[in-house]
Structure 1
Amino acid sequence: MRTVIHLSDLHFGRTDPDIIAPLIAQVHELKPDLVVVSGDLTQRARSAQFKEARAFLDALPHPQLVVPGNHDVPLFNVAARMLQPLRKYRRHIGEDLQPVYMDDEVVVVGINTARSLTIKDGRVNDRQIEMARRQLAAVGDNMIKIIVTHHPFDLPPGPQHHDLVGKAVPAMRAFALCGADLLLAGHVHTSSAVSSAGRYDIPGYSALVVQAGTATSTRGRGETNSFNVLQVEAHQIAVHRLGWQPEEKSFALAASQTFVQRGSEWFEMEADGSLSAEPAASGSRPPAGTAAG
């Protein structure tokens, strides 16, 4: 079994300073095998903010896999946005925009979904999809296969002010071919964990789609600061959400879900040990196959 810490939407430049040290301490206490950060390390892609983010990452356990988000692209510096959108990210965080982590149980592929021509939306392109498909197809089916993006392949329940990642449908079809098990993302500052079958009608296949809230930002959207702890093993994934408790100055367990794999599909386990007959609800959904693309 592997323990994966999933952080997202740090937004250095708009963080709650009371959270930083307790978060670092608790992540160390959890002794993760991997720390994943799914984008938006900064608020406005400024050098000082990237330096704060770099210091935060250096204080966390390793190994780590990090991808950029739309806030890591300059907003007001139009020349930098168009010509070198991730120059500061590459300088301070990492050169590799499609990083890969692999051990003898899991393989994790990061994909950069941040784009210069949009303010908040993101997308994957054909080259990225094919690269991820090949990387995951190259390992055996005994491995748990994980994709990390900033922009989501599904949306949590409730009113939405965001779109799915662009080209989501062809990406999901490619992920089905290579047997991707788990999709991690952020962006919407709201936590959720659902089967992809509720949105994507791909016969005989579904992945587990997990969203992280914002770990450290003051830009909450009705949910307390939080992060995910995933216990990942063959055919079973437990997702624990830890939420910030201001009075206690610490994160505490807020919710837990367990999913099991049958064939190439993931189902949520109910409290009585049975499997959900239908994919877990994920809010308002378009008809199958009509996700943004």
Structure 2
Amino acid sequence: MIRLFHVSDLHFGCADEAALDWFAGAVAAERPDAVAVTGDLTMRARAAEFEAAARWLESLDVPMTIEPGNHDLPWNPISRLLRPYRRFRRLERHLEKPLDLPGLWLVPLKTTARAQWRHNWSWGVVSRRSLDAALTLLHRRPPDAVAVIAAHHPLVDRDDIRSRGRTLRGQEALAQLAAAGAGAVLSGHVHDPFDAEIEAGGRAIRVIGAGTLSQRTRASRPSFNMLTIDGGRIETVPRTMG
């Protein structure tokens, strides 16, 4: 049995210190097999925010994979276009890292973009290159493992969630990922947890969203998800800070 803690939207610079301590305490006490961080480590992509996020994440001392979020890209146009992920340097070994654990094959899918033709650059984008990379990894899935995708933006929006990812080419990507054998897609961005099985391309696939550990809460208090993978099944338990 594999236990995966799924956490998102830390927003260092606007983090909730009590929520961070609560999550770190759960990791220390329960020692999950891995932690998946689905983006927005920072609030404004500042160097000090990345440094604080890196110190905190490294202190967890567990295997980890990290997706970039839209808040993690600099707004300086030159930096954004030429070196958008340079401040991840300290965490580079965890950035978009596939996880191969007994019974779990976790595949990263980048949904951030340096620039878009749309006015709101916080929305998600699935590029052909990112999708091809994810599909290539999916085809390498061990036969006895559940394949899970980790992205920042939800690939499709939900009526019961106030915020929207409006992910460009997300529906088509979800269908292709489902056809390639993905069992679930983890995401963040909307700051409220959700878990549903939906149909994509004629196949069933789970979409699982994590809340936030920041002060930028919406309908829910700070939270994270605990996923248990056992015998080819995924069980999700959302944990909310009391």
TM (normalized to structure 2)?
Answer: 0.92
Equivalent residues of 1:114, 1:122 under 8 A apart: yes
Name the amino acid aligned to 2:140.
A
Change (3 A) 1:98 1:22: closer
Question: What amino acid is aligned across from residue 101 of structure 2 in structure 1?
Answer: D
1:290 corresponds to which residue? none
Q: Would you say 1:208 and 2:184 are equivalent positions?
A: no
Q: Where in structure 2 are the equivalents of 1:184-203 lying within 5 Å?
A: 184-197=186-199, 200=200, 202-203=201-202
Q: Give aligned-pair identity as a percent.
A: 30
Partner residue in 1 for 2:3 = 3
State the match for 1:153 in structure 2: 155
CA distance, structure 1, for counterparts of residue 161 and residue 235 of structure 2: 26
Q: Deviations over 1:96-148 (max 9, x none)?
A: 75321102311111122111225311211112212211211122332110100
Among 173, 178, 181, the residue aligned to 1:179:
181
| Deviation, structure 1 residue 175 | 1.0
Q: In structure 2, what is the Cα distance between the partners aligned to 1:127 and 1:115?
A: 12
2:225 equivalent to 1:228 = yes
Partner of 2:105: 107
CA distance in 1, matches of 2:81, 2:93: 18
| Contact persistence 2:107–2:150 (CA under 8 A) | yes
Change (3 A) 1:95 1:35: closer
Mapped contact 1:41–1:68 kept (Cα < 8 A): yes
Corresponding position: 1:88 with 2:96: no
Of stretches 91-100 and 103-112 in structure 1, the one that deviates more from structure 2 is 91-100
Correspondence 1:15-54 to 2 at 5 A: 15-54=15-54
CA contact (8 A) 1:156 1:190 kept: no
The aligned amino acid for 2:236 is: V
SS of equivalent to 2:125: coil
Q: Distance in 2 between matches of 1:230 and 1:134?
A: 24
Higher relative contact order (CA 8 A, sep 6+): 2
The one-character-per-residue Cα deviations of 1:144-199 (angstroms, maximum 9, x if unpaired) are 101000010233443634233221133123212320011100000011000122xx
Q: Which has the higher helix share?
A: 2
Stretches of structure 1 lacking an aligned partner (at least 5 in a row): 246-293
Letter in 2 for 1:224: R
Name stretches of at least 5 consecutive residues in structure 2 with no aligned partner. none
Aligned residues: 238
Map of 2:55 onto structure 1:
55
Q: Deviations over 1:191-248 (max 9, x none)?
A: 1000122xx3x22x2111100000x210111210000001112332211111111xxx
**Aligned equivalents of 1:25 and 1:230: distance in 2?**
17
2:111 counterpart letter in structure 1: T
Q: CA shift at 1:54, angstroms?
A: 0.3
State the secondary structure of the residue aligned to 1:19.
Answer: helix
Query: Whole-Å Cα distance in 2 between the matches of residues 238 and 6 of structure 1?
Result: 12
Q: TM-score, normalization: structure 1? A: 0.76
Point out 4+ residue stretches in structure 1 off by more than 6 angstroms: none
Inter-CA distance 183–159: structure 2 relative to 1 (3 Å threshold): closer
CA contact 1:226–1:241 (8 Å) conserved in 2 = yes
Looking at structure 2, the residues matched to 230 and 95 of structure 1 have their Cα atoms a distance apart, in angstroms, of: 23
Deviation at 1:86, TM superposition (A): 1.4
Aligned in 2, Cα 1:141/1:160: closer, same or farther, shift over 3 Å? same
Paired amino acid for 1:194: A
1:116 pairs with 2:114:
yes
* Residue in structure 1 matched with residue 133 of structure 2 by the alignment: 131
Inter-CA distance 207–158: structure 2 relative to 1 (3 Å threshold): closer
Q: Find the residue that maps to 2:105 and give its secondary structure.
A: strand
